[in-house]
Structure 1
Amino acid sequence: MKPASSFWRKIAGLAARKVDEAECDVCPPGLPGEDPAFSTAVTALGAKLAKADGEAQAAEYDAFHAIFQAEPGSEGAIRRLYQLARQTTRGFEGYARRLRKRYGACPQLLEDVLDGLFHIAASDGVVTADELAYLERVGELFGLSPLTFRRLKATHLGAANDDPYVILGVAPDAGDEAVRAAWRSQLSEAHPDRARARGLPAEFVEVAEAKASAINAAFSTIRRERDAIARAGAA
């Protein structure tokens, strides 16, 4: 399998051309990194996120580059496209819609992209209300559920100690089997081996490991709380 960063080979040549090329109605075959439209849209979304709080900072580009790694030799072209896109947040919705149109049948991939954008937003130490609004809108345009967004938000920004259900994506009154099924499903999707199998960079694997840890911690908290409630009811 080619390394995920190989997709930057194509975007290097794309940077000087139109940034809104080809669309199709099904997920293209192969790694998304080999799809120039994916590469361009992700670059634009990352750049425009940096502008969402009114000031694009160097730390945000560094975080973008760490998550969506460039091939050696193509960094200059990537930076030029990034600098162009970050001049304004205008147009970000179009890029998000293009990604959904191409990868709507691959929701986990779209979640991976939003996960990476959260990482970029938090890179300067503060996620502003404007950045959160941007991320939430991207999630909506990706077709991700509000609970998925809330889980990602909790994973990156910290969930309340009494709200582990946000991380698992279930309602607090969900039955035990529903909670267990959600835990298994989320853990399966978040497993670092899946990130490796999708050819994502090492930094994404680290994000997956953190997500899996948060999912396990949430499930353990729910079990402890429910066990305590059951003991209190039996007393």
Structure 2
Amino acid sequence: MSLWQQIAALLGSFSQGTGLAGGIASIFDPDNWMPGGREAAFTMSIIALSAKMAVADGVVSRREVNTFHTLVDIPEGADAHVDRFFALAQQDVAGFDSYARKVRKLFADSPATLEHVLDALFEIATADGFVHGDEMAYLEAVSEIFGFDSVRFEQIASQHVLLPTGHRDPYAVLGLAPDVTDDELRRTYRRLVAEHHPDRMIAKGVPEELMGLASAKMASINTAYRDVTRARGTRPALASTQST
């Protein structure tokens, strides 16, 4: 059964009250997502939290919905299930915090996977060109629930939000201070590559349909490392952003 067949089976037919769609509370209980596998659970997590984040500023733009479609390789015929689930999540009166905690539980063994969920949420938030105050507060709250401290959150945000200069701070992307030694710079870069390489993400349950997001994460890390090493007059040896 493909990822999208699994999601369709989990969602069922809301109008007919079959499957999990017998009640909104059941749909948005992550404990019910795992029978579809970790890949389905990961994708459902992003759909639900993205929908909640999209209404954080009180306005849901078509661009935000379209951005989700660009993040996920949705095959023909499956987009109706995603749009339906997205719409139900927007209508759900329950708070996001309860199932954000369950998402953390689902991927407690892989903080990098939780970080990829945040990456997807940031992409949705920046779809209209900037992050609204309510959206940033939402993202920070989800980050805290996921177990990331404020320093880590700022690092993740720096990979998506541009400075007034129009550029990202490469040291912030790498989570380092500008006075870091060359040896520590290399060690940190290698650790980040090991954590976020697409091959490892697949092993942790991130579906292949979201490998574009994982590759973009690696590209951001590579760009930051390249900029720092060039500024220091050294030549970087960059890791591949592609899965093997």
* TM-score category of the 2 structures, normalised to the smaller one: 0.7 to 0.9
Structure 1 residue matching 2:7: 3-state secondary structure: helix
Aligned pairs for 1:1-235 within 5 A? 4-13=3-12, 14-17=20-23, 18-21=26-29, 23=31, 31-35=37-41, 40-68=44-72, 73-87=77-91, 91-158=95-162, 163-197=169-203, 198=205, 200-202=207-209, 204-227=210-233
Structure 2 residue matching 1:104: 3-state secondary structure: coil
Instruction: For residue 215 of structure 1, report the CA deviation from its aligned partner.
Output: 1.4
Cα distance change of structure 1 residues 104 and 196 upon mapping to structure 2, 3 Å threshold: closer
CA distance in 2 between counterparts of 1:48 and 1:85 reads: 7
Structure 2 residue matching 1:15: 3-state secondary structure: helix
Cα distance change of structure 1 residues 167 and 139 upon mapping to structure 2, 3 Å threshold: same
CA contact (8 A) 1:15 1:78 kept: no
Any unmatched runs of 5+ in structure 2?
A: 13-19, 235-244
Instruction: For residue 120 of structure 1, report the CA deviation from its aligned partner.
Output: 1.3
CA distance in 2 between counterparts of 1:16 and 1:64 reads: 25
Equivalent in the alignment of 2:242: none
Letter in 1 for 2:207: L
Letter in 1 for 2:27: V
Deviating more after overlay: 115-124 vs 48-57: 115-124
Cα deviations across residues 38-61 of structure 1 (Å, max 9, x unaligned)? 555433211111101210112222
Root mean square deviation of aligned Cα: 3.2
Give aligned-pair identity as a percent: 36
CA distance in 2 between counterparts of 1:114 and 1:69 reads: 18
Aligned residues: 221
Instruction: For residue 221 of structure 1, report the CA deviation from its aligned partner.
Output: 2.7
CA distance in 2 between counterparts of 1:50 and 1:69 reads: 20
Cα distance change of structure 1 residues 34 and 219 upon mapping to structure 2, 3 Å threshold: closer
Cα distance change of structure 1 residues 200 and 148 upon mapping to structure 2, 3 Å threshold: farther
Structure 1 residue matching 2:27: 3-state secondary structure: coil
Structure 2 residue matching 1:144: 3-state secondary structure: coil
CA distance in 2 between counterparts of 1:67 and 1:162 reads: 21
Relative to the length of structure 2, the TM-score reads 0.74
Equivalent in the alignment of 2:17: none
CA contact (8 A) 2:46 2:120 kept: no
Structure 2 residue matching 1:126: 3-state secondary structure: coil
